[in-house]
Amino acid sequence: MNPIASASHWTYRCAQGVTLAAALIAAPLVAHAQATPDEQAVASVVEKLRAAMVDPDQAVLKDLTSPLLSYGHSGGKIDTQASFIAALMDGSSDFVSITLSDQTISVSGNVAVVRHTLSGATNDGGKPGNVTIKVLTVWQKDGSQWRLLARQAVRPA
């Protein structure tokens, strides 16, 4: 094979690889930049809930959650709207900090499904600890407001 043709072919294949790699790296950034208004609104309420779980405010928590809330913990406990809010307010569930990562949001009509990894420092009942869990939340649009309808957490595999 002609060495010049071979070098040109190699240069062309490398350029293709670099182009593909750049496209794969940029794809999540482009997808994130093109979030729909509903996806942006859901991301906003997820952040409000995260903040309200660290610094509990009963009125904010009630506004962000559905009266039909089913809130599943990674240990199997299931809370209602009332018991979820009460545990945050009385300190039996006390988040010192919460960081969310690997978040995805999918909206279909008036329902949104959010997945993320929650890492946080806790002080449940005065006992310090740390938690890392995978969380699935289901949000329902009620008029113009997105409210948490269901949540299930699992321990990472």
Map residue 16 onto helix, strand or coil: helix
Beta strands in 42-83 (DSSP E): 65-72, 78-79
- In tens, the pLDDT along 98-146 reads 999 999 999 999 999 999 999 999 999 899 999 999 999 999 999 999 9
Q: Whole-model pTM?
A: 0.78
Residue 151 has pLDDT above 90, yes or no: yes
